[in-house]
């Protein structure tokens, strides 16, 4: 058996908020060498953790009196503000060097503001939003995007490794939230595109559940939309750049398939605004300009 890391043994972790995300995250910290302190407004949420060996705290201040790394997973900006700086908040008792990690998806400006308040007390606040949902939390496979100092990032890497498969340092405070918002923009626009695809498939007499099965299967192989997110910039790609031929190929395939889908939509009487936008926006978005199919479509529109 591997001996506990002395650094981990010296650090008590606190978890505030034991909801759909916070509870499975905290569960994976129950055997943390330095101990776990939990807090939630609902006694029934705390009880299983106490039974499993964690210590209960009635308020965020009581958590901060015992823990030096504190994960906050609550609902929104208002709750985060109260947990951190309210009358019974973390700052009422937190000692210098305490690291407060806000996992809730809040405004990046709120994170920056609260970090400045905490800094005055010698406390590090980092924004550390999570991606992967409750299943990812239960499996220890979350992605965490951290905005904060190098020192704070180092302090949370161990505990976060218990519930996350990927922990990235996005930059200074606020950067974690900005990365999460960019990630979720893609997520929900993709969901909107999925609803458009379902309308087309339904009009064409297809089984939507089978279509969903195909989409999930192939996205697991290709990586879905994230498969193209490999460059360091969104600037136009020079023709001499090795990426040009790769991304031009993606554009040409995309334009061909989008044009065919739009033709099917026309014949089925289904409006496909996202597909229409994608036909002319894919190539420029990839940095390689419009291809011949999109250029022809644009010419026809203006004829």
| Catalytically annotated residues | 180
The residues with which 99 forms a beta bridge, in sequence order, are: 69, 124
How far, in Å, CA of 82 to CA of 143, rounded?
A: 26
If we measure between CA atoms, which residue out of 161, 177, 168, 169 comes closest to residue 80?
177
Is residue 153 within 8 Å of 137, Cβ to Cβ? no
Query: Dihedral of the CA atoms 167, 169, 172, 173 (nearest 10)?
Result: 0
């Amino acid at each position: 058996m591997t001996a506990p890391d002395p650094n981990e043994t010296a650090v008590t972790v606190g978890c505030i908020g034991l909801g759909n995300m916070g509870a499975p995250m905290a569960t994976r910290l129950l055997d943390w060498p330095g101990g776990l302190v939990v807090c939630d407004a609902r006694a029934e949420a705390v009880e299983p953790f106490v039974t499993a060996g964690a210590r209960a705290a009635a308020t965020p201040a009581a958590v901060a009196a015992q823990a030096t790394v504190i994960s906050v997973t609550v609902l929104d900006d208002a709750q985060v503000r109260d947990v951190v700086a309210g009358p019974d908040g973390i700052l009422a008792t937190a000692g210098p060097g305490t690291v407060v990690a806000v996992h809730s998806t809040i405004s990046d400006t709120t994170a920056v503001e609260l970090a400045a308040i905490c800094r005055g007390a010698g406390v590090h606040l980092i924004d550390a939003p999570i991606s992967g949902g409750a299943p990812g939390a239960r499996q220890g496979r979350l992605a965490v995007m951290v905005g904060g100092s190098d020192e704070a990032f180092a302090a949370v890497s161990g505990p976060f490794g218990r519930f996350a498969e990927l922990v990235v340092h996005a930059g200074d405070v606020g950067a974690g939230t900005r990365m999460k918002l960019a990630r979720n923009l893609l997520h929900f626009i993709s969901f909107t595109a999925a609803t458009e695809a379902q309308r087309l498939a339904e009009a064409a007499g297809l089984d939507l559940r089978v279509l969903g099965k195909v989409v999930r299967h192939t996205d697991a192989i290709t990586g879905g939309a994230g498969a193209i997110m490999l460059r360091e910039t969104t600037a136009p790609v020079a023709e001499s750049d090795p990426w040009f031929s790769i991304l031009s190929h993606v554009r040409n395939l995309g334009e061909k398939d989008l044009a065919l889908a739009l033709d099917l939509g026309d014949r089925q009487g289904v409006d496909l605004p996202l597909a229409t936008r994608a036909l002319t926006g894919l190539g420029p978005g990839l940095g390689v300009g419009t291809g011949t199919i999109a250029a022809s479509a644009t010419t026809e529109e203006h004829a």
